[in-house]
Amino acid sequence: MSDKQLITKDNKLISASYSLGIPEQRLIFLAIIEAREQRQLIDAKGVLQIRAKSYQEQFKVEKHTSYDALKSATSGLFDAHFEYEDIHEKTGKLARHVIRWVQKISYIDDAGMVELQFTDAVIPLITRLSKQYTEYELKQVSELQSEYSIRLYELMMQWKAVGKTNKISVDDLRRKLGVEPEQYKKMNNFKARVLDHAINQINKHTDIQAEYDQHKDGRVIAGFTFKFKVKKSKEKNASKVEKRDADNGDIFTIEGLNDKQLGRIARNPSFVADYNHMVSSTSPAGQDVKEWESEMIDRLKEDASRFNKRPIRDYLKY
């Protein structure tokens, strides 16, 4: 598989209502990528092969776990369906479509491999994409451990350009996330077990930071709006720091230094003299060197604002 593995779905599929476990959703992800990498249209009823090794590598699980996941997903996906609404072309009336994901699926036990064929109705939703589609990197959902967090991330990616979803009614949100009617009927349970858990997972494991607003009809929560922003890339931030250092441009601040760098500062006689003068501190004379260094690292963090007015790089030149 390529380094940049993109999941691309028609927005009808993104907005559809369905309930799938994590193994089934992950199997669909791998099948979509496999279809693209075959470099051929799968609307010729092509068979897609997904191996346990791909599942193991992509989702960072043990070998036996990948085998078990594919085996369980085989049964789960064959029995599953999704639903979405659109306008019927001939009548102009609202139509509700109920569609099965696969028309055939097989698990080859000794080979640790699944073979599947999507149904004819699914194929155009993942290949012949309209202008209305959603795309994101598979790695963003690879570590999510909740089926609700995967679906919520997808829903938000549909609004990536604006960073905020439309208001989604409670009933509609439950359907889109795949929450069964008998599950989490009380709002406090729904928020705690579904929304809050999903948001926490998304904030921890993906490229966005998300939150939600709730909208009330009187005292009753009627719907939610989700807001999110893309996290700053650690790699980009690191490259900017390196460039500033190379060009002798902007200054480092103490907040941007690690303990090793702070330790170098703490051992700098110039720093010791300046710090003692500034806070009327006693000198390190008579103290264990390591203890002094550890103590001063803590003090530096606490008194960071005192030194950020001066180029802290001066103390690193030691």
Q: pLDDT tens across 268-309, in order?
A: 777 666 665 554 444 444 456 666 677 777 777 666 555 554
Q: Are residues 2 and 115 in the same domain?
A: yes
Q: Are residues 126 and 11 in the same domain?
A: yes
Please count the structural domains in the chain: 3
pLDDT of residue 265: 76
Block residue for tokens 């303990």: 259
Residue 188: count of CB within 10 angstroms of its CB: 8
Instruction: Give every CB contact of residue 29 below 8 A, 6+ residues apart in sequence.
Output: 7, 138, 141
Q: Single out the residue in 142, 161, 192 at which a domain terminates.
A: 142
Q: Is-contact 212 160, C-beta < 8 A?
A: no
10-33 average pLDDT score: 95
- CATH assignment at residue 188: 1.10.10.10
Q: Are residues 152 and 189 in the same domain?
A: yes
Q: Are residues 92 and 161 in the same domain?
A: no
Read off the pLDDT of residues 238-247 as tens digits, 9 standing for 90 and up.
Answer: 454 444 444 4
Q: Are residues 151 and 255 in the same domain?
A: no
Q: Are residues 125 and 223 in the same domain?
A: no
Q: Are residues 209 and 114 in the same domain?
A: no
Q: Single out the residue in 209, 231, 253 at which a domain terminates.
A: 231
What is the rounded distance in angstroms from the CA atom of residue 166 to the CA atom of residue 62?
A: 39
Q: Are residues 159 and 193 in the same domain?
A: yes
Q: Are residues 187 and 70 in the same domain?
A: no
Structural domain for 299, as ranges: 234-316
205-233 average pLDDT score: 95
- pTM for the structure as a whole: 0.71
Q: Are residues 28 and 103 in the same domain?
A: yes
Q: Single out the residue in 192, 207, 231 at which a domain terminates.
A: 231
Q: For residues 185, 189, 194 and 200, what is the CA-based torsion angle, rounded to 10 degrees? A: 170
Q: Are residues 13 and 138 in the same domain?
A: yes
Is residue 23 over pLDDT 70? yes
Q: Are residues 271 and 300 in the same domain?
A: yes
For the chain, give the mean pLDDT: 83
